Structure 1
Amino acid sequence: MSNRLIVLLLIIAGFGVLTTRAVMDAGYVGLFMSSFGSLSGTQIFFDLVILGVLACIWMVNDARERGLVAWPFILITLLAGSFGPLLYLVVRELRSPAPDSARARAATRATS
């Protein structure tokens, strides 16, 4: 098991505990409603929406290059936020080597 995979799993576990406690405290809908209690909360909410959309675009492109399927992780992102990209990174780490173009660029840099 790589160090990268261990770090990802630790992040998911810690964030999972935090998310579970927050949902138990406020409820799933309450998490969203509390964001709109102030202008700063609303700004943070939309900032995270933008980041989620960018993460979904990245996952689709990266999955295409690596021969993976991105739609389950996009669905998870829509329903559970950061868990989608985090889980995608775990699956990517376990199933897919770097795409040929990335390996070729690395080889080119190494010989230069």
Structure 2
Amino acid sequence: MSLRLVALIAVILAFGALSAQAMMDVGYLGIFLVPLESWAGTQVLFDLVIVCVLAIIWMVRDAKVSGVTPWPFVVLTLAAGAFGVLFYLVARDVKAGAKQSA
């Protein structure tokens, strides 16, 4: 297992714990509604939306080279933000590792 894969899994676990805590505190809709209570929060929310859209464009283009089907990760990104991109990177790393060992 590569160091990159271990790091990605660690980030997913840590971010997952943070996300679970946030959802227990405000619920799934609260993740979107709480930031809209201030201009600063709204800016951060829209920043996340822009970054996720750019990441989706990158995943779709990168998938042609890496051979990973991007659509499950696109849907996950639309529903859960950075988790879609993180899991895409894991799938990409696993696929690249499988090619190297074959």
Q: Which TM bucket (shorter chain)?
A: over 0.9
**Please, which runs of 5 or more residues in structure 2 have no aligned partner?**
98-102
User: 2:4: which partner in 1?
Assistant: 4
In 2, Cα distance between the equivalents of 1:54 and 1:96? 23
| C-alpha distance in structure 2 between counterparts of 1:26 and 1:51, whole Å | 23
**What TM-score, normalized by structure 2, do the two folds share?**
0.92
Equivalence for 1:93: 93
Name which one, 1 or 2, has greater alpha-carbon Rg. 1
Cross-structure match for 2:20: 20
SS of the residue corresponding to residue 36 of structure 1 reads: helix
Amino acid at match of 2:91: V
Where do residues 40-51 of structure 1 align in structure 2 (5 Å cutoff)? 40-51=40-51
Q: Does residue 65 of structure 2 align to residue 65 of structure 1?
A: yes
The 2-side partners of 1:96 and 1:61 are apart by: 16
The 10-residue stretch of structure 1 (66-75 or 50-59) with the greater mean CA deviation from structure 2: 66-75
The percentage of aligned residue pairs carrying the same residue is 51
- Deviations along 1:13-45, one digit per CA (max 9) or x if unpaired, are 000000001001100001100010100100111
CA distance in 1, matches of 2:77, 2:35: 18
Segments of 5+ residues of structure 1 without an aligned counterpart are 98-112
Alpha-carbon RMSD? 0.8
- Of the structure 1 ranges 61-70 and 82-91, higher mean CA displacement relative to structure 2 is found in 61-70
Distance in 1, Cα, partners of 2:67 & 2:3: 23
Q: Which residue of 1 is the match for residue 100 of structure 2?
A: none
Structure ranking higher on relative contact order (CA contacts 8 Å, 6+ apart): 2
Q: CA deviation at 1:68?
A: 1.6
Q: Given the alignment of the two structures, is residue 52 of structure 1 paired with residue 59 of structure 2, yes or no?
A: no
Question: 1:101 aligns to what?
Answer: none
